[in-house]
Amino acid sequence: MKASKLLAALTALLLVLAACTTGGEDTTTTTAAGGTETTEGGEEPTTTAAGGEETTTTAAETEEPAGESLLETVRARGSLLCGVNDVLPGFGVVNEDGTYSGFDVDLCRAVAAGVLGDSEAVEYVPLVADARFTALQSGEIDVLIRNTTWTSTRDGQEGATFLFTTFYDGQGMMVPASTGFTTLEELADANICVLSGTTTELNLTAVFGARGIAFNPQVFPDNEQLRPAYEAGQCEAWTSDASQLGAWKATIEGEGGEEQLIMEEIFSKEPLGPAVRDGDSAWAQAVEWSIMATVQAWEFGLDSTNVGSYAGDDPNILNFVGADGFDPGLGLDPEFAITIIESVGNYQEMYERNLGPIALVIEGSLNDLWTNGGLMYVPPYR
């Protein structure tokens, strides 16, 4: 009948119009009447393959491919979304009054101070290990500072870009001191507590597999469930980054638990550092130089008490504190270093404030300054 033919033609026309006017997606277009797919409306000059117009208006924090960086977005928003840990003593914990504190938390504040000028303009997003990279990929957070190890897979497949390593760590094993175990071989067939979604799991499998030792992992989503199982003896050993184990050893013994022993053997490299999304150099560099400023200040002997009142004439330090308005073009305020150091302190102050209470000492460790034999070496600010 005439009405139905008319409707069929109308449907076909509408579908063709819909297919054609929504930009140049190449992978998912199907046109009902087989019309030709022309890229109308002009393609944005992006470096990525298929960035149509819709992709940029959806997620709140995705950058416009026409060149606006996350730096501008964060400045416009006025606060930094920082992915952190909320259950790791020393690195990221929630206090009783709801505020966050920890080494990684202080690094978030340093970034906020550098980029926004206000170290308190941070919204902390607590994340479990499994969800770290999906949160970063989806734009839920601007930067991930959550004791995260830099690996090739994370740089590649996970779409992250790792920045300056803020803490050089390694994986260790902790057992109750009463067991007397000192080597990994003594843990054959044992239950070993490990967190899900961490490099720890892969390292454990790799190391034990290489030595031909069988073991049984007990995989927990977070430390709140892991710790009771360990203390109840459901696992005989707990493996994690040595700094985390130090934190937990101090916590368990401090709360009156059994004495713990961390084995001497460190069996992996764990460079912990902040991570941002791929493809945004301006933002990555702004974050990285804000963090490196804390180490540079330490090297110069500047801390929160004297950074604002430097009166000498070392040109390197003068550049660093922005004394003559020196601006290397990173998009940061010339006096960003003063803002950061005054509100958060330099690297040594942050370290000793947060990690001193859990028995981590900076002198003699890998995290000491390069001039003292450690690995903290930042590029010159000039």
Partner 1 sequence: MTSPPPPASRVPPWRNIRFLRILGQVLAVVLAFLVLRWLAGNLTGNLDRLNMGLDFGFLSRPTQFQIPYRPSFDPRSPVTSMVLVGVLNTFLAGFFGILIALALGLVVGVSRLSANWLVAKLATVYVEFFRNIPPLVIIIFFAAALFTYGPFPNLREAILVGLPGSDSKLLILSNDQWGIPGFTGGRNWVAFAVILGVGFVLAVVVWAWRTSVNDRTGKPHHRLAWFLGVLTGIAIIGYLALGGPFSMSWPAQSENRRLIVGGFAMNWGFMSLTAALGLYTASHVGEIVRGSILAVPRGQNEASSALALSGFQRYRFVVLPQALRIAIPPIINQCLNLVKNTSLGTAVAYAEITALTQTSIGNGRPALQSIVVMMVVYLAFSLTISLLLNVVNRRLQLVTR
Residues 6+ apart with CB under 8 A from 212: none
Q: Give the nearer residue to partner 1 in terms of CB position, either 55 or 79.
A: 55
Which of 99, 178, 183, 205: binder of partner 1 (CB under 8 A)?
205
Site for partner 1 in 285-304 (CB under 8 A): none
Binding residue for partner 1, selected from 214, 316, 359, 379, defined by CB under 8 A: 214
> Which among 86-94, 196-204, 284-292, 332-340 is the span making contact with partner 1, rule CB under 8 A?
196-204
- State the minimum distance, in angstroms, from the CB of residue 17 to partner 1: 9
Reduced to 3 states, what is the DSSP secondary structure of residue 218? strand
Stretch in the footprint of partner 1 (CB under 8 A) among 84-92, 167-175, 203-211, 257-265 = 203-211
DSSP letter, residue 376:
B
Measured over the CA atoms of residue 163, residue 166, residue 172 and residue 173, the dihedral's sign is: negative
Name the phi and psi angles at 149, rounded to 5: -80, 140
Residue span 74-113 as binding mask against partner 1, x where in contact by CB under 8 A, dash where not: ----------------------------------------
Stretch that binds partner 1, among 7-15, 77-85, 89-97, 355-363 (CB under 8 A): 7-15
Q: What is the DSSP string of 239-295?
A: EEEHHHHHHHHHHHHHTT---EEE-S---S-EEE--EEETT-HHHHHHHHHHHHHHH
Max CA pair span of the chain: 93
Query: Which of 137, 251 has the CB closer to partner 1?
Result: 137
Nearest approach, Cβ of residue 88 and partner 1 (Å): 16
Closer CB to partner 1, 136 or 337, in the complex: 136
136 contacts: CB under 8 Å, gap ≥ 6: 83, 144, 158, 159, 160, 275, 276, 277
> Per residue in 154-193, is it b (16+ CB within 10 Å) or e — as a string?
beeebebbbbbbbbbbbbbbbbbeeeebeebeebeebbbb
Q: Is 25 in the site for partner 1 (CB under 8 A)?
A: yes
Q: If binding means CB under 8 A, how many residues of this protein chain bind partner 1?
A: 75
210 binds partner 1 (CB under 8 A): no
From 38, 48, 309, 371, residue interacting with partner 1 (rule: CB under 8 A): 48
**Nearest by Cα to 215 from 290, 267, 150, 141:** 267
Distances (CA, A) of 308 to 115, 317, 320, 339: 18, 11, 11, 9
Whole-number minimum distance, CB 264 to partner 1, in Å? 22
Site for partner 1 in 117-176 (CB under 8 A): 129-134, 137-138, 151, 153-154, 156-159
d(Cα 362, Cα 355) in Å, to the nearest integer?
A: 9
Q: Which of residues 227-286 bind partner 1 (CB under 8 A)?
A: 228-229, 232-234, 236, 277-279
| 3 state SS of 333 | coil
Least separation in angstroms between residue 165's CB and partner 1 is 19
CB of 21 to partner 1, least distance (A): 10
* CB nearer partner 1, residue 51 or residue 90: 51
Residue from 33, 43, 99, 209 that binds partner 1 (CB under 8 A)?
209
Q: From the list 117, 170, 197, 374, which residue makes contact with partner 1 (rule: CB under 8 A)?
A: 197
Closest approach, Cβ 85 to partner 1, in A, equals: 14
Q: Which of 10, 60, 66, 361 binds partner 1 (CB under 8 A)?
A: 10
Q: Select the residue interacting with partner 1 from 150, 181, 220, 298 (CB under 8 A).
A: 220
- For residues 173-192, which are near partner 1 according to CB under 8 A? 188-191
> Is 354 in a helix, a strand, or coil?
helix
Contact 216, 192 (CB under 8 A): yes
* Cβ pair 194, 240 in contact under 8 A: yes
Q: How far is the CB of 266 from partner 1 (least distance, A)?
A: 20
Least distance from partner 1 to the Cβ atom of residue 174, Å: 17
Q: What DSSP character marks residue 369?
A: B
The three-state secondary structure class of 6 is helix
